[in-house]
Amino acid sequence: MKKIDIGKKILGENEKYALENLLFFTKKKKLCLNIISSPGSGKTTILARTINELKGKIKIGVIEGDIQTDIDAERIRATGAPVVQINTEGACHLSAAQISGALKQLPVEDLDLILIENVGNLVCPSAFELGENGKIVVLSVPEGDDKPAKYPAIFAKSKVLLINKIDLLNGGQVDFDIERAKADARRLNKAIEIFPISARRGDGITNWCDWLVKSVEKCAE
């Protein structure tokens, strides 16, 4: 038997593309955020609401990741924002090379902010850097307040936590202790910004959009 030391990054190929993407965003002074959540937590509704809210203030382009169909891309297209659809055909996450390809189809020069909607999955996408400036994790209240404790990786790595569907809390049909979810998310990530929102009704959207505008301005400096 002969042992050989390798010491090579297994996802080095993905990281190479991620680094190229990051350099691209830095050079162009564009902000890129990677939105990650379970399926059905409201990512597309949040995107559409955000685009409409920020119309005339900042220009947003979207990269839509889905296993199949362009249902989500259609919903974004209806807002008038430029959108590129990536179908992963079974893969549970987007990869940096796919983003690199999608960027060539977006009018990047005309945009201030590029939002990536990752494939609905709270686990796998957290392992694949896309070259984004930050990750946004969405947790909707019907999923349960124990998710930050049960899926620590994505909460530890994200810049922002959006707690969505808070309109359901008032009726008392959902048991969700918002303070517990916040405390568990902050346990591993003191710096995480948390915005409770309802993308459907509009609660908290102003605070989230203000944060976006400030982040875009900071990036463009």
Among 188, 194, 213, 219, interactor with other proteins by CB under 8 A:
188
135 is an interface residue for other proteins by CB under 8 A: no
Segment near other proteins (CB under 8 A), from 37-45, 49-57, 69-77, 185-193? 185-193
CB of 122 to other proteins, least distance (A): 9
C-alpha pair distances (Å), 5 with each of 2, 8, 12, 14, 15: 10, 9, 17, 22, 21
Segment near other proteins (CB under 8 A), from 54-62, 68-76, 122-130, 135-143? 122-130
- For residue 82, how many C-alpha atoms fall within 13 Å in the half-sphere facing its CB? 17
CB of 188 to other proteins, least distance (A): 6
Among 30, 43, 93, 159, interactor with other proteins by CB under 8 A:
93
C-alpha span between 206 and 221 (Å, rounded): 23
Q: Which residue's entry shows tokens 């994200």?
A: 158
Q: Which is nearer to other proteins, 78 or 183 (CB)?
A: 183
Q: What is the DSSP string of 55-66?
A: TTT--EEEEEEE
45 is an interface residue for other proteins by CB under 8 A: no
Q: Comparing C-alpha atoms, which of 219, 11, 214 is closest to residue 132?
A: 219
Among 22, 92, 106, 213, interactor with other proteins by CB under 8 A:
92
Our CA angle for 11, 124, 151, nearest 5°, is 125
Binding string, residues 162-181; x marks residues near other proteins by CB under 8 A: --------------------
19 is an interface residue for other proteins by CB under 8 A: no
Counting residues that bind other proteins (by CB under 8 A) gives 33
C-alpha span between 52 and 28 (Å, rounded): 24
Segment near other proteins (CB under 8 A), from 2-10, 37-45, 79-87, 136-144? 2-10
Q: How many CB atoms lie within 10 A of CB 151?
A: 17
22 is an interface residue for other proteins by CB under 8 A: no
- Burial code (b: 16+ CB inside 10 Å, e: under 16) for 104-134 equals eebebeebbbbbbbbbbbbeebbebbbbbbe
**What residue ranges bind other proteins (CB under 8 A)?**
1-15, 91-93, 95, 121, 123-124, 126-128, 152-153, 156-157, 187-190
